[in-house]
Structure 1
Amino acid sequence: MPPLGNFVVQPSPKAARSLVLIGAGSGVTPLMAMLKAVLREEPQSHVLLIYGNRNEDSVIFQQQLDALEAGSRGRLQVEHVYSQPLHATAPHQHTGRVNRTTLLRILEQRHQFPAPQAEYYICGPDGLMTETQAALELLNVPTSRVHRESFVAAADTAEASATHGDVLAGTDDGPVTSRKVTIQYEGSEYVVDVPTGKTILDAALDEDIDLPYSCQAGLCTACRGKCLSGKVHLDEREGLSDAELAKGYVLTCVAHPLTADVVIEID
């Protein structure tokens, strides 16, 4: 799907700039278009792509990225971040998640990308964007140089905004800042505290619960589970059929609890 709003790069042959692209899973799709355009039309510009995935096998555009980097004469650098790598990490590969600690470490190693002067484009789930914003604030990056885009279908944007208003709705005891979600997986049961604005998957991973996932954009269905009770909002529904939705299936990477009694069973 195309990026929304002002989340675009206008190539200029005379430009000599540094771009830092940060994405996870399918969020790399609009970033790929950007880096290709800059490499093709701006011979004096440099691009750093920081790309998060579950493991080496879940990387989208792997062969294209390898070819582009090899032919860029040093103008493209790709840093992979794997939350659950299959092999020992090699140079330019990192273990963990795309959070502020990982980002600060990578950016500090890339001296040709001076933090305040570079342009930053972030595309992915809300958790990634929150962590990236925190890292860039620590580096004193001006907000005018930071461009963000949630990887959400345009048709769902209004619904997502309205529903998240419900998530933020207060109770007699004050505003709701989080909700408990029970997750049943591989014979174990976990109770996860899901803060407002975070997905169920992000909250579970923050507590080191090893749940299945891949794209983190609601497209691949690797994180599919069944909602046994309670109500859940999905930022993205394209990965599920109408029949699956009717049966209560959800994708934890784009799911937010709307009630305090959510129970999700993951096969």
Structure 2
Amino acid sequence: MKSFRLIGKIVGKVFPAKIISTFFGMGYLPIWQEYWASFLALVISYILLYLSYGSFLLLYDITGIAFVVTIFFLKLSIVFLALQTIAVFIFQINNPSANSNENIVVHIVLAQLFVVALAMPATLAIFHSMAGFYDQICKKMFICPKWINSFIYFCIFFIIPYIFFNIIVMIKPWPIVTIQLHYNNVLSITAEGAIYMLYTIVLIYLVACIFFDLTIHDANIFNRYIFNNIKALNADLYNISKKLV
């Protein structure tokens, strides 16, 4: 145990464990740490998405963009899972009182990223209904410039997984509170994030299936296509981005 502490203190001198664990200090905000952390995570992720693939995203329709977003967020989530594990372990060695009920919010960030990737069929179903409602308002009441429409569509697409996820964070469903009261380590904090993610995915799929005409068949087709063709899609994205540079 002493050797782990020594290693943690040494690695902590060069590895930004505090920055990652608190997600750029979001964990030290006086209120709403989880909500701000998940919002910032989405903002940063979409900026990285644009910097990675650039304007070629405009060549796709919304379903094509959804494929790209899903792949990108899956890869980002896997990388972030490794960073989270190392960061929380080191951060708690150097700050034993640090916990997920106060300043550690990295598990919230990871859960939000996974929700975007794994709940995409449900997000698309809700998006199409909300975008259709917006189109009716815009066409019947206003003459909206194209850039405003694009911005509104992005905001709708952005806000759907954010709202559903933070509803679950606000509720803190079982067994989140029990875990927080009895455990405080990298495994328990990772488990908290996984529970938030699972509850959110169930909720968003239920809402999409009941109120927005999503079928399990359609969701399975989308997810199967992603997982069966992820290598081919990555190659296509690379080739397209290379031609546009």
TM-score by length of 1: 0.24
Q: Between Structure 1 and Structure 2, which shows a larger proportion of strand residues? A: 1
Q: Between Structure 1 and Structure 2, which shows a larger proportion of helix residues? A: 2
TM-score by length of 2: 0.25
RCO higher in structure (CA 8 A, sep ≥6): 2
